[in-house]
């Protein structure tokens, strides 16, 4: 691994981390189920991933910067699982089901949204 | 948010990113991340350390987009039933692994 690859990953992960912390500390509102910040982070990350997949860049450094650095640090799987675990501990099974379906459906919808928007604009 | 917190969380996030890049397998990464998350949440530690370990290490180590990307590739190949089972299997497996980590760390203390 050369020096440029390391620098690209570092820059991407810095931006991802700062953006996630910013969203975590500033957005506390209610949508559908009672709201958790990892939902908005994961949905936004899926939107970006859709745009990225539709563009399908071949430059290796761009993949390192955006896919591994930025999106990897921005999206978080473990806090999604932690939220589900927390709901099981509190025995709120209906909220658990709503949250689970909500995250998966919303992130897939936004993924396809980003994908098709980019495909339309590309042509 | 002070300066010391920010520098520590950045260093931890870099470590997590390079570990994820080195392992290069989303399935193993998510399982290790869930286990660590389970260990951390059962301990009674200060809010500062908790934020760094959960929000810095675990969240940067595991990535939701890698998960979505695998599901996207399954959709492209047309395995809809496999997609459904794989999705639920990963989430339930991660929940169980997190619970195991939670219990183990309880038993240690």
> Does residue B19 carry a pLDDT above 50?
yes
B70-84 confidence digits (pLDDT tens)? 888 888 888 888 888
CB contact under 8 A, A68 and B38: no
For residue range A2-43, what is the model confidence (pLDDT) as tens digits?
Answer: 888 888 888 888 988 888 888 887 766 555 445 567 788 888
Judged against a pLDDT cut of 80, whether residue B109 lies above it is answered with no
Q: What pLDDT, on the 0 to 100 scale, is given for residue A36?
A: 66
% of chain B beyond a pLDDT of 90:
6
For A116, the domain range is 3-122
> For the whole model, what pTM was predicted?
0.86
Q: Compute the C-alpha angle A31/A91/A28, nearest 5°.
A: 25
Closest CA to B101 of B8, B27, B39, B20: B39
Give the distance from residue A94's alpha carbon to the nearest chain B alpha carbon, in angstroms.
16
B66 contacts chain A (CB < 8 A) = yes
> Which candidate from A13, A71, A82 shows the least CB-CB separation from B65?
A71
Q: Are residues B63 and A72, on separate chains, in Cβ contact within 8 Å?
A: yes
ipTM of the complex: 0.86
Domain total for chain A? 1
- CB atoms closer than 10 angstroms to residue B33: 28
Answer yes or no: do B68 and A46 touch at CB < 8 A.
Answer: yes
């Amino acid at each position: 691994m050369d020096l440029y690859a390391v620098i690209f990953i570092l820059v991407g992960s810095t931006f991802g981390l700062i953006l996630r912390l910013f969203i975590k500390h500033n957005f506390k509102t209610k949508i559908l189920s009672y709201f958790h910040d990892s939902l908005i982070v994961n949905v936004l990350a899926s939107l970006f991933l859709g745009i990225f997949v539709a563009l399908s860049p071949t430059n290796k450094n761009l993949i390192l910067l955006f896919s591994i650095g930025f999106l990897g640090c921005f999206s978080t799987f473990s806090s999604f699982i932690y939220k589900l675990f927390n709901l099981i501990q509190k025995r709120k099974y209906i909220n658990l089901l709503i949250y689970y379906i909500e995250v998966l459906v919303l992130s897939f919808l936004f993924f396809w949204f980003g994908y098709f928007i980019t495909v339309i604009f590309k042509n | 948010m002070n300066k010391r917190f920010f520098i520590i969380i950045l260093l931890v996030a870099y470590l997590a990113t390079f570990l994820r890049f080195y392992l290069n397998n989303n399935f193993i990464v998510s399982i290790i991340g869930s286990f660590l998350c389970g260990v951390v949440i059962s301990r009674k530690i200060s809010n500062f350390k908790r934020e760094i370990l959960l929000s810095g290490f675990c969240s940067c180590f595991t990535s939701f987009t890698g998960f979505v990307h695998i599901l996207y590739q399954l959709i492209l190949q047309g395995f809809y039933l496999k997609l459904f089972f794989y999705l639920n299997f990963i989430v339930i497996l991660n929940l169980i692994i997190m619970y195991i980590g939670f219990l183990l760390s309880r038993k240690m203390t």
